[in-house]
Amino acid sequence: MKKSILFLSLVLFSTVSIAQTLEDINWYTEEYPPYNFKKDGKTQGIAVDLLSEVWKKVGLNKTTKDMKIVPWARGVKMIKTKPGTCLFATTLTRERKDVLGWKFVYPIPLVNEEPENHVIAKKGKHISFDSIEDLKKYKGKFGVIRGDVGEGLLVGAGVNSAKLDKTANPESLVKKLDKGRYDIISYSFTTASTKMKEIGIDPSKFEIIFSFPPKPMGYAFYHSTDPAILKKLQTALDELHSDGTAERIRLKYSK
């Protein structure tokens, strides 16, 4: 009897998890300029503006006020555990897609049309990496944001997780790099530079010492999100790329 009840509960939970409507989706993002950030009280960025246009196309009556800015680690927890969750802008990695099962609607155009996953150091440190193997051999620590793709790429490359010093947000990450708490960080140079300028750090003091192979960014969804919802959103996003809207939004934040 207990087994029957457990089975029925699992079936009902599975049905509820899948039976989400577009209106049910909760949209989570983080401070990750120029893709998603808040300035002068307004949520904006490439991913934000593009999603707003997607919503218009699919007839979803939502505004940027419906996008919740949270620390990245919290957003990751939500997409892992809460049906009806979308997290963006999210780099599409093998682990996230094939292991965690997140569903993606993509791509979000890259601001400089270049890879956004870097290893960064202060100039004059004389640290350089020519390959993944060099990363694995490095004896020092890497500064990363907890749950961010920068952490995932290092672990995926075989870097011992004990070498990763995790922090909560971009501001903390770049401050620690500037003060010498970190010799190197794994993060987007574009986003790091933007955050440095905001808090009065000169980005020209830093350099990219390694770039990971390029990976697309998009909108990640809870693993059992209805495929019909994903198809509708993907079609709308594809149309925005085809008609030039996505490129216009990218250029707006490339200045």
Q: How many CB atoms lie within 10 A of CB 109?
A: 22
Tokens, residue 182:
């970190």
CB within 8 Å of 80: residues ≥ 6 apart: 100
Q: Distance between CA atoms of 47 and 49, rounded to whole angstroms?
A: 6
CB within 8 Å of 147: residues ≥ 6 apart: 72, 73, 75, 76
Q: What are phi and psi of 79, to 5 degrees?
A: -70, -25
Report, as ranges of residue numbers, the positions in the chain whose pLDDT lies below 70.
1-19, 255
Q: Is the dihedral of CA 48, 218, 76, 175 positive or negative?
A: negative
Residue 20 has a pLDDT of 74
Q: Is the dihedral of CA 88, 94, 97, 101 positive or negative?
A: negative
Residue 84 has a pLDDT of 96
Give the relative orientation of helices 189-198 and 170-178 as an angle to the nearest 10 degrees. Answer: 80
Q: What is the pLDDT of residues 55-82, one digit of tens each?
A: 999 999 999 999 999 999 999 999 999 9
Residue 6 has a pLDDT of 45
Residue 14 has a pLDDT of 43
- Secondary structure (DSSP) of 74-117: HHHHHHHH-TTEEEEEEE--HIIIIIS--EEEEEEPPTTSS---
- Secondary structure (DSSP) of 197-239: HHTT--GGGEEEEEEPPP--EEEEE-TT--HHHHHHHHHHHHH
Place of tokens 């989706």: 25
Residues of the chain with CATH 3.40.190.10: 20-111+216-252, 118-211
Question: Quick one: which of 211, 208, 237, 191 has its CA closest to 45?
Answer: 191
Place of tokens 């899948």: 18
pTM for this prediction = 0.83
Q: What is the CATH topology of the domain spanning 118-211?
A: D-Maltodextrin-Binding Protein; domain 2 (3.40.190)
Q: Distance between CA atoms of 31 and 195, rounded to whole angstroms?
A: 9
Residue 116 has a pLDDT of 82
Task: Estimate to the nearest angstrom the gap between the alpha carbon of 127 and the chain centroid.
Answer: 26
Q: Distance between CA atoms of 130 and 127, rounded to whole angstroms?
A: 10
DSSP state, residue 32: B
Tokens, residue 60:
């979803």
Q: What is the CATH topology of the domain spanning 20-111+216-252?
A: D-Maltodextrin-Binding Protein; domain 2 (3.40.190)
